[in-house]
Amino acid sequence: MSTIPLDYEALRLIWWLLLGVLLIGFAIMGGRDLGVGALLPFVARTDEERRVLLNLIGPTWEGNQVWLVLGGGAIFAAFPPLYAASFSGFYLAMIVILLALILRPVGFKFRGKISDPRWRATWDWALFIGGFVPALIMGVAVGNVLLGAPFHLDDTMRIFYTGNFFQLLMPFALLAGLVSLGMIVTQGAAVIAGRTEGVIAERARTYGSLAGLVTIVLFALGGLWVAMLNGHVVTSVIDPNGAINPLAKTVELVPGGWLRNYGTYPWMLAAPVIGFAGLALAVLSLRSGLKLLALLASSAGIFGIISTAGLSIFPFFLPSSTMPEAGLTLWDASSSHLTLFIMLLVTAFFLPIILVYTAFVFRVMRGTVTTESLGKNPNAY
């Protein structure tokens, strides 16, 4: 008899929630930096203005990457089949994201080495790519999850991906990418508007308001589109404590199937409501100059949008478009009972530490960044 105090079903659900927390944490915290980078060439138009934005995110962007590392590590350890299928199937897309992210540390370090305007402008656009590309492609990846990835399993549970990079660029996936980009830009604008002043903050409020409104429209359009997609529905009996075997279930494609969870569990409707309400409040707060409320509302919008995607496909992680029964769900793509429990103990110890040091760092780095403050800081970029 197992001595683990939590049953397998409970641990699986806990790790599904924790994975969502980590992904949302990266979108909110890492989204600050990605959004500022995507706005860099437009909100800041002189060298001094761009230095303000670089020093706004420069001291904290590396720490915010912890959420991305934790998310990838959680997928690897808690849901190995998902890691194998997604990281191999979306390999080229992830390489593009990685190359774009690499431009950020290089841009921070090398931009100020030479005072030539062309040199600095080149690195400014590199930093723009480092924010724009990951925000877009991560959304494209989520769109492809809703469409289903072209992979199948053989009798030995080996995963075979049959798609290519360009198949990821479907119209619906691109729409999801634009939703992701819009919410990240809104987040970045809220950060800029909250910690700068003058013309920089004013431009940020303008761009952020526009991005928020566009995201609301695209999010609504995406919801209507999802209602017309074929959703994957498990029609066989599910054993939440059963062994790992994706091929043991039967799956049907049902028009509008991704919306069935909202009828079964009406409380899930809170997710899209929070998404719309958060973005709308962020737009109003940006226009009214309510700095803290704008950032909190934008973060709530991100929470609502990502939660909507996760709850819509539950219990699926990665549906298969070519072999529906091979689609990976929470119940057949997790690690063992013991592994999930040990990971939970480790997470319970380290996650509070991460939260505490993140709060400490942001408290130390709080305040408005201006051209005058840069002159007083010998370590400024």
> What are the residues facing 152 on neighbouring strands?
160
**C-alpha distances in angstroms, 83 versus 75, 220, 245, 349?**
6, 30, 15, 24
The tens digit of pLDDT for each residue in 160-192 reads 888 777 888 899 999 999 999 999 999 999 999
One digit per residue, the tens of pLDDT, for the chain of length 381 reads 457 788 899 999 999 999 999 999 999 998 899 999 999 999 998 989 999 999 898 888 888 888 988 898 899 999 999 998 888 888 888 899 999 999 998 998 898 888 888 999 999 999 999 999 999 999 999 999 999 999 988 888 888 888 777 888 899 999 999 999 999 999 999 999 999 989 999 999 999 999 999 999 999 999 999 999 999 999 998 888 878 888 889 999 999 999 999 999 999 999 999 999 999 999 999 999 899 999 999 999 999 999 999 999 999 999 999 999 999 999 988 999 999 999 999 999 988 998 998 899 888 888 888 887 777 777 777
What does the alpha-carbon distance between residue 170 and residue 40 come to, in Å, rounded to a whole number? 28
**C-alpha distances in angstroms, 114 versus 44, 56, 277?**
19, 21, 45
Q: Say if CB 334 and CB 340 are below 8 A apart.
A: yes
CB burial readout 8-45, b (16+ within 10 A) else e? bbbbbbbbbebbbbbbbbbbbbbbbbbbbbbbbeebbe
The tens digit of pLDDT for each residue in 189-225 reads 999 999 998 999 999 999 999 999 999 999 999 999 9
Q: Which pLDDT does position 1 carry in this prediction?
A: 41
Taking alpha carbons only, the member of 141, 165, 155, 163 closest to residue 326 is 155
Q: Which pLDDT does position 2 carry in this prediction?
A: 58
Q: Which pLDDT does position 41 carry in this prediction?
A: 92
Q: Which pLDDT does position 115 carry in this prediction?
A: 86
Q: Which pLDDT does position 92 carry in this prediction?
A: 87
What does the alpha-carbon distance between residue 341 and residue 328 come to, in Å, rounded to a whole number? 21
Q: Say if CB 76 and CB 226 are below 8 A apart.
A: no
What does the alpha-carbon distance between residue 54 and residue 51 come to, in Å, rounded to a whole number? 5
